């Protein structure tokens, strides 16, 4: 029986000393191999003692720390390289700042991309559409080819296209100018990692549900003739996960 | 044409500070939900139910407004405004909850699982002196790790997965996997070598 590599063993080992249940071959091997079991116990011992060392660290009030701007800038990967290195070196040795970094990462995961990422504001003008506001991150402006609506009179309508990645979802939007007060919105949602697709998109106006549609098998949906208003929407990914979305459609008063 | 969110936030903050008509209302409409979600996250992590929420949201707004929006003006543009706002709101919420709830520290700030400290090598339980020696050796070894390896270990001990750590450090996953493996292996060797030396000293 060939032993597991150290890397394999470490990768399957959680910080709490448990083995990843998603790695059954590791469980099986360790159960039958005394050498790997002994190695595993050594790593567990290291983890337990390291946890205790970090847990017992005393933070001195006289210590200096990196401020909120730098912690946030580090998370956003927005700092100059030399500043980032200094911040990283500090955080690696400072329990208070490591705690701040860890907490901010957890909070951003809880509130970040879903909240910040999905408020789009569009203005409907006489000749087309304009993006007034879009999410701060993960936003990509797409190609906006006009849509041919009436082949006979060559009537083409301007399109505004954009996309947004949220966790493992990619959302492609295209808004088609209908008239001075209406827009049709096409949404396509792809799952980037697993093959389980989001199921439904719902739309509210002033707290009232105005549309709730199942997405097609390939994740597409067209919302026809939306009036210039503010809509709150929700993409239902599964019974536990819903992504909130705000689409503000403003009419250009001069058009 | 897409607008620049950085400049938009700056302009909005300048409007708030100058008392421009509708600026604060616009701030609330744009960031109110983010603030509420951050507060809710803090409350949820504190008691598991998200209680205290309304009072805390008011408290956060009060703190953001005081000193002529001092906390918001302190944003230097080194991050997205929203990330900075989450950080400030988080800390305001934690301070508030910590003052109100004596057991907050235990629930919120101590991610260490007590059971982790109970993990021991099977066999004879180590004596206090042995554990103290192990801890001293490991402390020195941890200090000798590279900053990145040390940070990976710290974040792991706070319960972050290797995948999450790669996101936080903004490095490829493979680099975090390798850093984690090397760090653990270094620490294991230091621990084993130290124990072997102790053992041979005892025999000698």
**Greatest CA separation for chain B:** 84
**Greatest CA separation for chain A:** 80
Given a cut of 50, is residue A116 above it in pLDDT?
no
pLDDT 10s digits, B84-111: 999 999 999 999 988 876 655 554 544 3
Is A44 in contact with B119 (Cβ distance < 8 A)? yes
Q: Which fold has domain B5-109?
A: Rna Polymerase Sigma Factor; Chain: A (1.10.1740)
Give the best-scoring range by mean pLDDT among A41-50, B41-50, B114-123: A41-50
Contact, A221 vs A197, CB < 8 A?
Answer: no
Q: Please indicate whether residue B27 or residue A156 has the higher confidence score (pLDDT).
A: B27
Position B126 scores a pLDDT of 62
B121 interfacial to chain A (CB closer than 8 Å)? yes
Work out the percent of chain A whose per-residue pLDDT is above 70. 82
- Same topology, domains B5-109 and B121-203? Answer is no
Q: Please indicate whether residue A88 or residue A177 has the higher confidence score (pLDDT).
A: A88
pLDDT 10s digits, A216-252: 877 788 888 898 888 878 887 766 566 778 888 888 7
Handedness of CA B108, A46, B165, B115 (dihedral sign): negative
Strand order in the sheet with A230-236: A128-133, A119-125, A242-251, A230-236, A200-205, A208-214
Position A141 scores a pLDDT of 79
Q: What span, in angstroms and rounded, lies between the C-alpha atoms of A119 and A148?
A: 28
DSSP E strands, chain A: 119-125, 128-133, 139-141, 147-150, 155-157, 159-166, 169-179, 182-191, 200-205, 208-214, 220-227, 230-236, 242-251
For an interface test with B, give the residue of A20, A106, A232 to mutate (most B CBs within 10 A).
A106
Work out the percent of chain B whose per-residue pLDDT is above 90. 46
Angle between helices B147-157 and B173-203 (to 10 degrees): 90
- Bridging pattern class, strands A242-251 and A119-125: parallel
Is B86 in contact with A44 (Cβ distance < 8 A)? no
CA of A206 to nearest chain B CA: how many angstroms apart?
14
Query: What residues does each domain of chain B span?
Result: 5-109, 121-203
- Bridging pattern class, strands A230-236 and A200-205: antiparallel
Q: What span, in angstroms and rounded, lies between the C-alpha atoms of A104 and B90?
A: 8
SS3 content of chain B, % helix, strand, coil (to 5): 75, 0, 25
Task: Give the phi and the psi of residue A83 in degrees, each rounded to 5.
Answer: -65, -45
> First CA to last CA across chain A, in angstroms?
77
Q: Which fold has domain B121-203?
A: Arc Repressor Mutant, subunit A (1.10.10)
Average pLDDT for chain A: 82
Tokens of A155: 């009537």
CA-wise closest residue to A144 among A123, A130, A132, A134: A130
Q: What span, in angstroms and rounded, lies between the C-alpha atoms of A232 and A248?
A: 8
Position B114 scores a pLDDT of 38
Contact, A125 vs A98, CB < 8 A?
Answer: no
Nearest residue in B to A57, CA atom: B139
Position B49 scores a pLDDT of 58
CA of B139 to nearest chain A CA: how many angstroms apart?
7
Given a cut of 90, is residue B188 above it in pLDDT?
yes
ipTM attached to this prediction: 0.83
Q: Please indicate whether residue A119 or residue A78 has the higher confidence score (pLDDT).
A: A78
Position B136 scores a pLDDT of 92
Q: Which residues of B touch A117 (CB under 8 A)?
A: none
B174 interfacial to chain A (CB closer than 8 Å)? no
Q: Which residues of B touch A109 (CB under 8 A)?
A: 164
Tokens of A85: 């290195």
Is B80 in contact with A42 (Cβ distance < 8 A)? no
- For range A15-24, the mean pLDDT: 84
pLDDT 10s digits, B130-142: 788 889 999 999 9
Given a cut of 80, is residue B80 above it in pLDDT?
yes
Work out the percent of chain A whose per-residue pLDDT is above 90. 21
- For range A75-104, the mean pLDDT: 92
List of domains in chain A: 6-112 (no CATH), 118-251 (2.60.40)
């Amino acid at each position: 029986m060939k032993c597991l590599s150290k890397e394999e063993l470490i990768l399957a080992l959680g910080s709490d000393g448990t083995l990843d249940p998603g790695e059954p071959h590791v469980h099986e091997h360790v159960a039958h191999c005394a050498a790997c079991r002994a190695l595993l116990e050594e790593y567990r011992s290291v983890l337990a003692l390291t946890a205790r060392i970090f847990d017992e660290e005393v933070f001195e009030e006289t210590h200096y720390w990196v401020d909120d701007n730098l912690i946030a800038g580090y998370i956003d990967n927005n700092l100059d390289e030399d500043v980032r290195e200094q911040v990283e070196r500090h955080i690696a040795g400072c329990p208070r700042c490591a705690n701040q970094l860890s907490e901010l990462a957890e909070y951003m995961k809880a509130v970040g991309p879903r909240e910040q990422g999905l408020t789009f504001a569009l203005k409907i003008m006489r000749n087309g559409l304009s993006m007034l506001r879009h999410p701060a991150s993960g936003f990509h402006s797409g190609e906006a080819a006009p849509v041919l609506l009436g082949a006979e009179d060559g009537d083409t309508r301007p399109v505004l296209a954009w996309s947004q990645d949220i966790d493992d979802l990619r959302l492609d939007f295209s808004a088609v100018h209908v008239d001075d007060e209406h827009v049709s919105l096409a949404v396509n949602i792809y799952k980037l990692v697993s093959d389980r697709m989001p199921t439904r998109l719902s739309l509210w106006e002033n707290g009232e549900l105005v549309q709730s549609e199942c997405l097609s098998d390939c994740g597409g949906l067209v919302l026809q003739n939306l009036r210039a208003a503010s809509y709150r929407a929700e993409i239902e990914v599964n019974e536990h996960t819903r992504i909130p979305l705000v689409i503000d459609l403003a009419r250009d008063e001069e058009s | 044409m897409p607008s620049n969110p950085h400049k938009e936030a700056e302009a909005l903050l300048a409007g708030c500070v100058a008392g421009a008509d509708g600026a604060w209302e616009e701030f609330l409409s744009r960031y109110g939900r983010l603030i509420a979600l951050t507060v809710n996250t803090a409350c949820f992590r504190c008691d598991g139910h998200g209680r205290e929420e309304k009072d805390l949201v008011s408290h956060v707004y009060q703190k953001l407004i005081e000193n002529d929006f001092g906390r918001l003006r302190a944003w230097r543009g080194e991050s997205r405004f929203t990330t900075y706002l989450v950080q400030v709101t988080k800390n305001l919420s934690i301070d508030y909850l910590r003052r109100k709830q004596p057991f907050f520290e235990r629930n919120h700030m101590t991610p260490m699982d007590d059971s982790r400290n109970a993990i021991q090598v099977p066999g004879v339980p180590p004596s206090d002196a042995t554990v103290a020696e192990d801890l001293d050796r490991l402390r020195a070894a941890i200090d000798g790790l590279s900053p990145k390896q040390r940070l990976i270990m710290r974040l792991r001990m706070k319960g972050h997965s290797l995948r999450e750590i790669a996101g936080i450090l903004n490095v490829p996953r493979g680099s975090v996997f390798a850093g984690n493996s090397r760090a653990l292996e270094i620490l294991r060797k230091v621990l084993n070598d130290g124990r072997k030396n102790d053992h041979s000293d005892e025999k000698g």
